Amino acid sequence: DQQVKQNSPSLSVQEGRISILNCDYTNSMFDYFLWYKKYPAEGPTFLISISSIKDKNEDGRFTVFLNKSAKHLSLHIVPSQPGDSAVYFCAASPNNGNQFYFGTGTSLTVIP
């Protein structure tokens, strides 16, 4: 069973606009969440994380929002750049990072 879900397989955004990638989870025990970016033929690259004691974390153009009651997190990228075109995975851990569950990914295309 998929405990972390990314329901949008793909997203296209104009350069300079905001990209919003969404992720839902089912396990209320998840307490740590991450976003990764992946280019073809490379391993995932860490972007940003958030623990369950926060509802927002910001790092430059990237902001992650966590809504625990809705079991939902989102990644905002603003402004979007063509180099942001990649597959984005969200991941969650129930036990301090001993095990991670990943979503199926959203392919972001930023159009110049």
Partner 1 sequence: DTGVSQDPRHKITKRGQNVTFRCDPISEHNRLYWYRQTLGQGPEFLTYFQNEAQLEKSRLLSDRFSAERPKGSFSTLEIQRTEQGDSAMYLCASGFDLPQHFGDGTRLSIL
Within 27-86, the residues that bind partner 1 by CB under 8 A are 32, 34, 36, 41-46, 49
Q: How many CB atoms lie within 10 A of CB 23?
A: 26
Backbone φ, ψ for residue 82 (5° rounding): -55, -35
Pick the piece of the chain touching partner 1 (CB under 8 A) from 14-22, 56-64, 78-86, 92-100: 92-100
Backbone φ, ψ for residue 26 (5° rounding): -110, -20
Query: Is the CB of 6 or the CB of 80 nearer to partner 1?
Result: 6
Q: How far is the CB of 47 from partner 1 (least distance, A)?
A: 9
Does residue 4 belong to the site contacting partner 1 (CB under 8 A)?
A: yes
Query: Is the CB of 85 or the CB of 88 nearer to partner 1?
Result: 88
Query: Is the CB of 38 or the CB of 61 nearer to partner 1?
Result: 38
* Coil, strand or helix at 102: strand
**What b/e readout covers 64-75, taking b as 16+ CB neighbours within 10 angstroms?**
bbbeeeebebbb
